[in-house]
Chain A
């Protein structure tokens, strides 16, 4: 069996899967753009209620997690297994941090009575209702993807301990990295669209 072909094929398969993920979020981005076009002022008003500091912090966290992810793959390729595992742990830790902050944000909103179908939200303008509908849907779907990513990375960690992932067989970790970076990229777009439109 041609190993190089297998490696490239495996990567290609992962990339194709990422394309489908882009279009999955894409449907929501289409809705966002239509509704923002229709209700520019309401979106602007609603965005004030999101915490820009927390959003920025989360962005920095995720960007750093991409760095640690890239480092873990680079060290795996060099055979520095201990360092690679440390960087995976770092990535997972940062991912959990992200989710923690997200939970705080959502929690605060829900406590204030701003969530889909809440009486308080329904009393607001249509544009604001749509803003928060999209906010919860999009950051929710994104958070779900982070969660799945953390699960996958944990599995990669264990496979590395077992030696099933190593210098000569690094494609599972690389593919996990591709997934993780994509989830970061989605957030890179979500951040300005929800937090910075003031």
Chain B
């Protein structure tokens, strides 16, 4: 942390990019303990893995454009969708917003100089990279990439000869990274808030990261032990999931989904937090129902941890469990709906400023709503019988994850870009990219919903001729979507290199990050502020 000869006030004025700390060059990045640099390390890593996931998806859609084999064999296809899932879920969607924007902005938004445990924060990133490398290595070693789907269901995952052990070990390491990040954020929020920053004055983004962090701490260990058990089963044959030894594969599914359903809330809550922060700024109006949104986030985290059996309605679990989980699933829709109503109420009679961050938030609300409503349909037992393991399911979850979390992430990119980089991107191009994305997205994933409704099974390499048209449409939509992604990222990248210098507060936000320079100095604040206003008090 020492900088030779520089006084506190100088360090408070130069941007964190210029202040390298005690290391030089690349080491000033990969050995940093500055939460902002760590956020950017994640930024680069997550985007890299996002693109790998997109490429895998692109080839999946290319294969599925026509029935029968098109460009690959079935084993390859199975591995592609498995890897696509593992990468997108564990390397992109679960970490993205907390590790990029939680790291960069949570400390600033609560009025602190860094997180509670900066070195553990760095360790989290190193574990993330280690986990990612382990997963990548599993692709090229030990029998080849896993073909089980990202869900690694027993007993197939216990018997298939591909490199499941290494892949699940990678997931285990990634889980550890996630737990440590959760611990860091909960502790920071409790202990490091600036004077006057009461819980009721926290930005809703902080509330969402806080709720998410609890889920990370409490749910992730369960998938940790489940991955360990796959390992133990494969190498020692303990028998807990192996029917030949009395094991119950349904119990595997329970343990797996006890984490993996709450994981979807780890994915969506931070994105909702972003929407809650962005909408007021671009409606120039206080958020409608601050406490309702804050508490509903906690409620989603809590109730959302009780619904995992809705992934298992047709697995053979008891009817009683089916009914119970279906009921709980309907209940968890309520706090989500509360948020949607409150965002819309905030926009109502607001002074709307039509900028890219708001566009992405509006798309979020629309796409998330479709995702949520389709979730209710499949959460009802009778429809689920028909829809489970059809294309409806990936249609649903891409609406929620990509349409929801993804667009929330893009909103965050466009909102906080000037603060992080001190530059502005070309806004018209951003809006164009947004439109292309929205169009491509809906052509692609709505086709999936229709395919599923008509009975097309998921994770199938081949299909009946009656599904051709919709598959063709979906693949076509995927190309438009990818074009939108390219334009969006190219625009941001160009903004990074050549964009106009941005002011400290181009959007007129009231949260603390907009009261400090763009980009921020290392210590964030020259003096820790005393907070007297709420986060959406625009005066």
Binding site for B on A (CB under 8 A): 5, 8-9, 12-13, 16-17, 19-28, 30-31, 34-35, 38-39, 116-117, 122, 125-127, 129-130, 133-134, 136-137, 141
* Interface window among B94-102, B216-224, B332-340, B504-512: B216-224
- Cα distance A122–B239 when bound, in Å? 10
A19 and B217 in contact, given A34-B248, A129-B246, A134-B240 (Cβ under 8 angstroms)? yes
* Interface window among B225-233, B351-359, B431-439: B225-233
The reply to whether the CB of B349 lies closer than 8 angstroms to some CB of chain A is no
> Which among B191, B228, B232 has the highest number of chain A CB atoms within 10 Å?
B191
Nearest CB of B to A13, in Å: 5
A20 touches B246 (CB 8 A): no
A26 touches B240 (CB 8 A): no
7 interchain pairs, CB-CB under 8 A: A17-B179, A20-B179, A23-B222, A27-B255, A28-B225, A117-B236, A117-B238
Selected contact of B238 from candidates A24, A30, A133, CB within 8 Å = A133
Nearest CB of B to A124, in Å: 10
The reply to whether the CB of B190 lies closer than 8 angstroms to some CB of chain A is yes
B116 touches A9 (CB 8 A): yes
Total count of chain B residues near the partner, CB < 8 A: 37
The reply to whether the CB of B482 lies closer than 8 angstroms to some CB of chain A is no
Selected contact of B191 from candidates A12, A21, A137, CB within 8 Å = A12
- Cα distance A28–B183 when bound, in Å? 22
Nearest CB of A to B11, in Å: 15
B224 touches A24 (CB 8 A): yes
Majority SS at the chain B contact face: helix
A137 touches B187 (CB 8 A): no
Interface residues of B in 154-211 (CB under 8 A from A): 179, 182-184, 186-187, 190-192
- Cα distance A24–B222 when bound, in Å? 6
Residues of B within 8 A of A134 (CB): 238, 240
Residue on B nearest A21 in the bound complex, by CB: B221
Residues of A within 8 A of B232 (CB): 116, 137
Residue on A nearest B236 in the bound complex, by CB: A116
The reply to whether the CB of B247 lies closer than 8 angstroms to some CB of chain A is yes
Residue on B nearest A115 in the bound complex, by CB: B236
Residues of A within 8 A of B183 (CB): 13, 16-17, 20
Nearest CB of B to A8, in Å: 6
A20 touches B221 (CB 8 A): yes
A13 touches B248 (CB 8 A): no
- Cα distance A127–B222 when bound, in Å? 23
A133 touches B221 (CB 8 A): no
Residues of B within 8 A of A133 (CB): 238-240, 245, 247
B236 touches A23 (CB 8 A): no
Selected contact of B245 from candidates A21, A126, A137, CB within 8 Å = A126
A137 touches B184 (CB 8 A): no
Nearest CB of A to B49, in Å: 24
B217 touches A16 (CB 8 A): yes
- Cα distance A28–B226 when bound, in Å? 9
- Cα distance A17–B239 when bound, in Å? 29
Residues of A within 8 A of B55 (CB): none
- Cα distance A27–B116 when bound, in Å? 29
> Which among B117, B238, B254 has the highest number of chain A CB atoms within 10 Å?
B238
Residues of B within 8 A of A130 (CB): 239-240, 245-247
Given known contacts A20-B183, A24-B222, what 4 new A-B pairs fall within 8 Å (CB)? A13-B117, A17-B179, A23-B219, A34-B248
